[in-house]
Structure 1
């Protein structure tokens, strides 16, 4: 899942810190409502959630908290926008985890557009979910997308 809506006219400023949300681009009020709608849609449809992992960015953690009740921060989901040299390593880590998941377990990853594009070749909007089917050996197939 890409984090929910933010004020896209703002970027993360130079010198932002992961441990200080006031230095980052955060969810807008619409983004918070969007995340709650995602969580409600999962609950209404009875979609069981197993593990929830999130980028350490505040907008991702807040999305996960509002939609799914929380998440385990995982650096492999952190954006590599400012350092593209991290793309291959982070994508490899995520592919390894996702491709090993049993088809019956719903793993939720909350991350950034670049990360999802690198993993699945999909350019999601803010708040959009990309549903992947694990194929093993680091491979996944896009099963569909869900908009908030």
Structure 2
């Protein structure tokens, strides 16, 4: 009977009060918000990908640009102070971060995609864990990255522009406090 109870109720999404507490932990510098970049239709990048050439990459469409702006508005509603904003060096992540218009964007190679052998999942995840064991800030932190990086760290397969509030210091696997999306805010 206990097993059935747990099966029915333990798998439900995080309660609203838990989400509120997770946002408070984020505002207090005890968590980070990790977001998958906004909508950039397709999978991976085209042949001829060049990191410094956005024309060679998958980029945000109009809906993705709107999602990024909406995240910026929501985050300003949730916190009226300054932010720390880190992004993958891929154009779709940088554009997501820039369109949020909440802080100077700091490119962080540990957030770069390792999809299809473009990087090293283990090394980048370890670098991310190391970076946020030393660079913890009292300001809310936002990380913009890719599905593969997000999934490697959290075990969650996010939709475009979806996120999670993750406890600091980062651990592997991460301690997810709440999953979040624009629809939830």
For Structure 1 versus Structure 2, the TM-score category normalised by the shorter chain is: 0.7 to 0.9
The alpha-carbon distance between structure 1 residues 28 and 84, as it changes in their structure 2 partners (threshold 3 A), is closer
What is the Cα deviation at residue 50 of structure 1?
2.9
Q: Provide the rounded CA distance (Å) in 2 between the counterparts of 1:47 and 1:141.
A: 26
Q: If you compute each CA radius of gyration, which structure gives the higher value, 1 or 2?
A: 2
Matched-pair contact (CA < 8 Å) for 1:5–1:27:
yes
Structure 1 or 2: more helix by fraction: 2
Match status 1:105 vs 2:139? yes
SS in 2 for 1:140: coil
Mapped pair 1:81 → 2:89? no
Matched, 1:90 2:124: yes
TM normalised by structure 1 equals 0.88
SS of residue paired to 2:116: coil
- Larger mean CA deviation between 37-46 and 24-33 belongs to 37-46
Q: 1:97 Cα shift? A: 2.4
Q: Does 1:51 align with 2:84?
A: yes
Supply the RMSD in Å over aligned alpha carbons: 2.2
Residue among 23, 34, 45 paired with 2:56: 23
Contact 2:83 2:103 in 1 (8 A): no
Tell me the equivalent position of 2:177. Answer: 143
Tell me how many residue pairs correspond in the alignment. 147
Deviation at 1:7, TM superposition (A): 1.5
Are 2:153 and 2:173, in contact at CA under 8 Å, matched by a contact in 1? no
